[in-house]
Amino acid sequence: MSSSTIPKGHTLPVRFAGLASYLPDRVVTNDDLAEVLDTNDEWIRTRTGIRERRVLAPNQATSDLAIAAARAALNDAGMTADDLSAIVVATTTPDHTVPGTAPLVAAALGSEVTAFDINAACSGFLYALRVGAGMLATGDSAVLVVGAEALTRIVDPGDRSVAVLFGDGAGAAILVADDQASLGPFDLGADGSDPSMLWTEAGGTRQPVDGGVLHDRSNLLSMRGGDVYRNAVARMTASSKQVLADAGFGVDQVDLLVGHQANIRILEAVGQRLGIPAERSHITVDRHGNTSAASVPLALADAREAGRLNPGDTILLTAFGAGLTWGSCLLTWQPTRHQGTTTTAGGGGAM
Ligand code: UT7
């Protein structure tokens, strides 16, 4: 079965009116982890490319990260919450199982517009972009799309196979309709036939939390790393090729690859298979670790701050995550109203 794709060559007249991100203040280096785990900086750097990651404060939850990024994105767009018609939060680490995180974000912004979550794991921001763009096509005026995660809250800090990989953060974009703009084609897909490749086995309705679950710690994230690695490379490569083929684009027309930041070796392998040289791939995994649904908008905002998003540039976004899920799309970059910056808990004028 092939994955779902917008008809060949079809792009959506959608522009990023605002873009911003938020990273918690606390930096945890590989050496910090090596003090509490049987690991070391050399292993983490050579296997993953990660040097450090951000970790949210004890009094923060995913919505706090999302709200900070959302406010900064509104500021970047020169808009207020009153200008929004919908809020979509992509997260796999919601504040609560019930309710969703998006209504909490809306309330903090002082808004009562449509607000709901999307859980497509690390592909969540790509899915949310597709949903947000579709909502604009059916009458919405401005859709706030957030990728926000607090993965460090669902990993076992004593399990070195996962604890070193993940970080926390949020990225937000405001989508508006614009006949001169172009978002797409999209390729999104999912294969749920083997969810145990990357999952929290317990804690949901299949196996609610009880004493046994707490003892086994099976409510925390576990992963078959090698299988995930191979699937990530294969799926992100195939999905990227699909959108390029649908757009009728060659790889030489891609100005920048912004892929899901899980492991630098995965990004290098995808770039090599696509024929996109490393200097045209934006890397943040060294500083952010794997932030799941937040990783693509965090990397996109970081690329802009680094001066790597120029008017008219073609950006290839691609992601892969638990589910399995995957997704890719093209984005023609147009400047936002204000030059945004990444905010941190300690600063950032937009907060
Ligand atoms: O966001 C969703 C997508 N997620 C991903 O894309 C993650 C995909 N997977 C990966 O990035 C890699 O599979 C990992 C980075 C998770 C692991 O890298 P690997 O090269 O596949 O290593 P491995 O799991 O095969 O482990 C190699 C060795 C093992 O020791 P033995 O059995 O060879 O003696 C592990 O026990 O490394 C050991 N190891 C560690 N050593 C030091 C595993 N984790 C660590 C650690 N520090 N943190």
Output b/e per residue, 141-165; b: 16+ Cβ within 10 A: ebbbbbbbbbbbbbbeeeebebbbb
Measured from the CA of 263, which atom of ligand 1 is nearest?
11
131-151 pLDDT per residue, tens: 999 999 999 999 999 999 999
Measured from the CA of 232, which atom of ligand 1 is nearest?
6
Residue nearest to atom 17 of ligand 1 (CA): 225
Model-wide pTM > 0.75: yes
What's the gap in Å between 107 CA and the centre of ligand 1?
Answer: 40
Helix and strand element counts for the chain (H, E): 11, 15
Closest CA to 323 of 124, 138, 186, 35: 124
| Residues facing 285 on adjacent strands | none
C-beta of 267 in contact with ligand 1 (< 6 A): no
**Would you call 338 a catalytic residue per the annotation?**
no
CA atoms of 165 and 257, how far apart (whole Å) = 21
**Would you call 260 a catalytic residue per the annotation?**
yes
- pLDDT at position 349: 32
| Spatial contact of 49 and 286, defined as CB atoms under 8 Å apart | yes
- Please report which helix (H) or strand (E) contains residue 31, including its range: helix 30-34
C-beta of 160 in contact with ligand 1 (< 6 A): yes
Looking at domain 1-351, its CATH architecture is 3-Layer(aba) Sandwich (3.40)
Within 223-334, where are the H helices? Answer: 225-247, 264-274, 285-288, 295-305
Q: Where are the domains of the chain?
A: 1-351
| Residues facing 88 on adjacent strands | 116, 145
Q: The tokens 């994955």 sit on which residue?
A: 3
Q: What is the DSSP letter of 219?
A: T
- pLDDT at position 180: 87
CA atoms of 45 and 49, how far apart (whole Å) = 4
- pLDDT at position 345: 52
Using left for φ > 0, alpha for ψ between -120 and 50, and beta otherwise, residue 143 falls in beta
- pLDDT at position 10: 78
Q: Collect the ranges in the chain with pLDDT lower than 70.
A: 1-9, 339-351
- pLDDT at position 4: 54
**Would you call 122 a catalytic residue per the annotation?**
yes
- pLDDT at position 178: 92
Closest CA to 191 of 120, 130, 271: 120
CA atoms of 102 and 63, how far apart (whole Å) = 8
Alpha-carbon torsion (265, 270, 273, 275), positive or negative: negative
